[in-house]
Amino acid sequence: MNVSRSSGVLLHPTSLPSPWGVGDVGPWAYRFVDLLAEAGQSFWQVLPLTPVGEHGSPYSPHSLFAGNPLLLSPEGLVRSGFLRTLPEPPQRDPGMVDYPSALRSKDAVIDAAYAFSFENTRGERAYADFCAGNAPWLDDYALYDALSRGYGSPWLDWPEVIRRGEKAALEEQRNKLRPSIDRSKFAQYLFHTQWSGLKSYAKSKGVLMLGDMPFYVLHDSSDIWAHPEFFKVGADGKALFVGGVPPDYFSKTGQRWGNPVYDWVRMEEDGYRWWKSRAARALRLSDFLRLDHFRGYVAYWEIPAASPTAEIGAWVPLPSSFLNELIAAFPDLPFVAEDLGVITDDVRAAISRLGIPGMRVLQFGFDGSPDNPHLPSNHAKNSLVCTGTHDTNTVAGWFANEATPENRGALENYLGRSVTKESVVSEFLEMASGSVADICIFPMQDLLGLGSDARMNDPGTSSGNWRWRVRPEELSEAPFLRLRELTQSNGRG
């Protein structure tokens, strides 16, 4: 990833304002691009764009290839002629995403668009090209989606012949569920057209998309159902081992994510074709990619499925050929390594070999150690610095609720002055923008100086996450004027 000194903002589209219960790629997304461009920003960082359920986590998607229908803009569908009239929006709480309600309201919008315009759309060349060009994943996903809707349960609970993917049984279901399959493909086409339009608009304004590729996929996903051979699951489809991380900063018992782990021996035998396909798909949606859980690209924490926590497990190394294949498939290496957590010498060596930026998080920098890599004086030029991430508290929330007296003392010693709850956010913004790191990313919550209530995710907890949204009045020019000043004064324009 070869970029000049620059900066950008992290704000997942679900966190944008919208009267539909969840942010989307509608009018406020374009407004946000305009604000970024006016502030001289080079990047809009988003989280994975893959489909989620009522849990809301973009890091446990139902497909690693499909787009998230929640992000469809009803206004955009009307403007593009896919929908006759705009339905009455539900006007949910603008400060929070209500995933069950949002899924229902967007499903109703997709149903209306399908009824109104699918018959005309299916005959168009653009739709045919989309379906043909994405068939390797789209056919599996559309059938999985139709079956999920029909059975109303995870694929592990489907009839055995369908769960096991027996050819005759699946062909029968394709014929039986043709309208539902067509609807799913149509929804993916709508996502493709809307996201491509937004991405092109952003690029015309000098704003590039920094996307995110989750390492694992949800057990109840089209990927594991269609390709169980690439995962460590039994003949019954149940996981033998699951992923996570051992005890660390975020959790005393570690994080047991519950996602089945990959069978890397089988992946290597297949030439990593499936893995390379998913990376290529993600790069069609973004200009650059943050590789989530990069340490898993070298070795991953394998937890026996029966273990209730992540405390029991083992580090399992990946085949050494994997990084060679990654370099060969993507020689420009348009990646950022999320190298947080338990990082060992072999992971550092892999990042160095690839020559891609790692991440530096200011909230992690003030433990009093002069060798802390997150301390601004230790930042590397080829890195991405941020005040916090989607997994951390906001700066204001960290200072008020998590920073120890030692953390505060180390911060004040580094700055050479006292720091208060009124000044801490400004101090962090200045430190991040002034860092030698080539790329600087500001979470939108920190630009607004928001507290813990605006936290996006609290790792290790199972409820209340991924729900925060910025309010319309907060997307004003004031915070972006401040951002423009930071950008210009620190040579990131």
| Residues with active-site annotation | 292, 338, 391
Q: Which of 208, 201, 191, 186 is nearest to 29 (CA)?
A: 201
Q: What angle do CA 293, 336, 253 make, to 5 degrees?
A: 20
The residue with tokens 């996502």 is 191
> Do strands 439-443 and 6-10 pair parallel, antiparallel, or not at all (unpaired)?
parallel
User: Which amino acid is located at 274 in the chain?
Assistant: W
User: Which amino acid is located at 462 in the chain?
Assistant: S
Across 113-144, b (16+ Cβ under 10 Å) vs e yields bbebbbeebeeeeebeebbeebeebbbbbbbb
Q: How many CA atoms lie within 13 A of 193 on its CB side?
A: 19
Strand partners, 231: 262
- Provide the token pair at 80: 């593009």
Nearby residues of 350 by Cβ (< 8 Å), 6 or more positions away: 294, 297, 298, 323
Angle between helices 125-133 and 178-204 (to 10 degrees): 100
Nearby residues of 97 by Cβ (< 8 Å), 6 or more positions away: 14, 15, 21, 22, 23, 56, 466, 467, 468, 469
Q: 201 exposed, middle or buried (CB, 10 Å; 0-12, 13-18, 19+)? A: middle
End-to-end CA distance of the chain: 18
Query: How many angstroms from the chain centroid is the CA of residue 450?
Result: 22
> Do strands 255-260 and 241-245 pair parallel, antiparallel, or not at all (unpaired)?
antiparallel
